[in-house]
């Protein structure tokens, strides 16, 4: 499998979410509650590592409506519960993380461990793969959060949308594309930022539980799963069932996260 995730180095030259400058106040995050029930996970395409397609019992959970923002993450750092991202800049925005103009943009360059620490500081956790996929595709197994229609730049922010006038080689502010919301109203689950989930990656995950059961998570591994594609990825990374393996220490300009509980 060829991965398309990018570490973006900020150039050497210099060129919002209800928080004070510097992130001294953490903006609240809206949550969506998804009630227990049977949902479809995976894909019927046996050539994919995301197969087979099965029904699963998912317990009631809550998940953040949007990805965690720069302002929210800075507030966690200020409180001493988090550590700063690996770097400040993305592409031509050298102060992406620290500039209040980008407070409402998703935080980048954080490892799985940093994402986990942030969620724990709020009494939350990273979502499981089953929870994330349920929130993205709904109970009936939609290919994309909005349904079966092909992605375009009004629904998702992905590689083909860069330099189209909507953005220049960076994410969009969280929730910028409400037309791409899932049936539960969860935003940015295809494109914008790929997202860490709690599970270790196992290519056989979808074969590890019986149809109709609650999915089990791998007990361990070397790689964590990331979901949802990103602003840097091609269109083939956007389906709701797509999974990618990534080192939990890896930090990149197109991987962020949201929390659940």
pLDDT of residue 164: 53
Q: Residue 230 and residue 192: Cα distance in Å, rounded?
A: 5
Query: Architecture of domain 31-68+122-261 in CATH?
Result: Alpha-Beta Complex (3.90)
Average pLDDT of the segment spanning 128-132:
96
Query: Which range has the worst mean pLDDT, 85-94, 183-192, 208-217, 249-258?
Result: 208-217
Domain boundaries, the chain: 31-68+122-261
Question: pLDDT tens digits, residue range 66-97?
Answer: 999 999 999 999 999 999 999 999 978 999 99
Taking all residues of the chain, what is their mean pLDDT, rounded to a whole number? 86
Q: Give the pLDDT confidence of 6-43 residue by residue, as tens digits.
A: 433 333 222 222 222 233 334 457 999 999 999 989 88
Kindly report each contact of residues 210-219 with a partner whose C-beta sits within 8 Å and lies 24 or more positions away, as own/partner.
210/54, 211/54, 211/55, 212/38, 212/54, 212/55, 212/56, 212/57, 213/56, 213/57, 214/56, 214/57, 214/58, 214/59, 214/130, 215/41, 215/56, 215/58, 215/128, 215/129, 215/130, 217/128, 217/129
């Amino acid at each position: 499998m060829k991965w398309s995730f990018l570490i973006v180095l900020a150039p050497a030259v210099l060129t919002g979410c209800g928080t004070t400058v510097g992130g001294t106040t953490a903006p609240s995050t809206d949550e969506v509650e998804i009630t227990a029930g049977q949902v479809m996970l995976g894909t019927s395409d046996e050539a994919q590592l995301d197969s087979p397609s099965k029904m699963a019992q998912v317990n009631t959970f809550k998940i953040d409506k949007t990805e965690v923002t720069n302002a929210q993450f800075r507030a966690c750092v200020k409180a001493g519960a988090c550590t700063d991202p690996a770097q400040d800049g993305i592409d031509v925005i050298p102060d992406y993380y620290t500039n209040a103009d980008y407070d409402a943009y998703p935080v980048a360059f954080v490892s799985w461990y940093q994402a986990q620490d942030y969620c724990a500081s709020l009494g939350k956790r990273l979502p499981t793969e089953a929870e994330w996929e349920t929130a993205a595709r709904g109970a009936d197994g939609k290919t994309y959060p909005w349904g079966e229609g092909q992605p375009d730049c009004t629904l998702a922010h992905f590689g083909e949308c860069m330099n189209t006038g909507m953005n220049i080689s960076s994410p969009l502010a969280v929730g910028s594309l409400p037309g791409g919301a899932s049936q539960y109203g969860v935003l940015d689950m295809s494109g914008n930022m790929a997202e860490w989930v709690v599970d270790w990656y196992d290519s056989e995950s979808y074969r590890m539980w019986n149809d109709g059961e609650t999915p089990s998570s791998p007990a361990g591994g070397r790689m964590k799963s990331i979901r949802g594609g990103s602003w840097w990825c091609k269109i083939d990374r956007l389906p709701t069932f797509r999974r990618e393996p990534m080192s939990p220490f890896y930090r990149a300009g197109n991987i962020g996260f949201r929390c659940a509980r």
